[in-house]
Amino acid sequence: MHGVQYPLNTRKGMWVINKNDAITGQGIQPKRFFDFTWSGEVNGVPVGSGTMVPCVTFGSESKLYIVDHDNYVNNGTLLLRLSEITGPINDPIWQVTPGSTWDSSGLFPTNLSIGGGALDAEQPNTSTTIETDIPFIGNRLLNAVFRNGKIWCTHHSVVPYYGPWNALNVIWYEIRPSAMPNALVQSGIITAPSNEYYYYPSIAVNAREDVLIGFTRSSPSTYAQAAYTGRKMTDPLGTTSPVSVLKLGEDTYIKGSDWPPDFRVRWGDYSATCVDPINDIEMWTIQEYAEEDVGPNPMDDRWGTWWGLACECIAIPGDVNATGGIDLTDVIHLVNYFYDKDRPATGCLGVDPGNCWTFDPICRGDVTGISGITLPDIIYLVNFVYDKDRPATGCLGSSPGNCWVPVATCQCCQTVPVVQLAAGKIR
């Protein structure tokens, strides 16, 4: 939600809809309950011109949180603002979240010195830039997610507040509204190297609180490409994995540079990253990239959309007992599991505790990659543990199992922060 009267962004509105009506096919009847100007107030609180981002909310939270910043700054440090919508669908109430150090403002400090705008993004073979510094709202928040009592949100911006600026970075936050005025749990800057530009990010958080962030990246030597990074819940605060490429850019993009009166090259302004609705672990991101031109004129430029599936890995096949690494105890556990004749019984009749042992996920024992636990899984695991030739450059053993190594899949994969498992073009 941001102003709609360019260039002053002077009007803003809020609507609510009944989600249940939409899901059950009863139609959507939006209720507009605020319509105010840039200088207006609601319940005595100045609203401002920044984009107010409602959270994608998981669970049965009784309120809908909204986060924005409108370039509020205190001693060079960015302030974010929390507000919320409560009440029945036919009589909603908007108010700032209580507890701010600044009375009735909803503001709380971040630990980041962030400039009040962005830098338009450079690209190869042209002096024409991709617009990211939209007037008055260039570094606005772009999307937010609420789950497990916390808000995750992201945007792009220059840093530090007082300059100098020679790159555009992606910023992300984890916020706990109930901890106001000390609501910030952590924040991070995905720092672009000098003369590189990261822009229009989106963020997703899964059931384990792993994070995926997708965005566009370009530079004077890099066509606008789809990129991503992420973090595991157990990673150090404020850190993400190295930036990876989802889809390389193919050409310059200057469509719109010949359109009066603004001559601006607009990009998507937004992207999409979300958690898989079935398993709540895997995460998807949809990002733009610059496609190959279809002709010599600016109107012949094209952008493409690329999807990617990523997950933080759950297990390693062969690490049957989940201790990390593969050794003799994994072989013993897998043999006991496969040859245990007592498993169908209600109680465990064997004297070895391993006889009653099962593993989760079951793919820890699926060594061959063929669904189910069979004798070849045991053979492969024994060969792997006892193969003395593995350090050699070539495989000296005669059994194919001697050269087997764990294979990553989305259900059972090696431990890395983010793995891109699949990707493709949206047509």
d(CA 344, CA 148): 38
Tokens of 145: 């997610």
Judging by DSSP bridges, how do beta strands 143-147 and 56-57 pair with one another? parallel
pLDDT 10s digits, 33-88: 665 544 445 455 555 657 889 999 998 888 999 998 877 888 888 899 999 999 88
Q: What are 48's two structure tokens?
A: 């401002």
User: Alpha helix locations (H) across 340-409?
Assistant: 375-386
Rounded-to-5 percentages of helix, strand, coil across the chain: 10, 35, 55
- CA dist 287 and 267 (Å) reads 11
pLDDT given at position 31: 77
- Residue 300's SS3 state is helix
How far is 288 from 203, CA to CA, in rounded Å?
Answer: 15
Mean pLDDT, rounded, for 357-370:
73
The yes-or-no verdict on residue 409 having pLDDT over 50 is no
Q: What is the pLDDT of residue 11?
A: 59
**Greatest mean pLDDT range, 46-50, 181-185, 363-367, 422-426:** 181-185
Residue spans of the domains in the chain: they are: 11-311, 328-403
Cα–Cα distance between 47 and 2 in angstroms, integer? 10
Distances (CA, A) of 388 to 203, 368, 396: 45, 20, 9
In angstroms, the Cα distances linking 41 to 18, 130, 310 are 26, 34, 43
Q: What is the pLDDT of residues 281-306, one digit of tens each?
A: 789 999 999 999 999 888 899 999 99
What's the pTM? 0.75
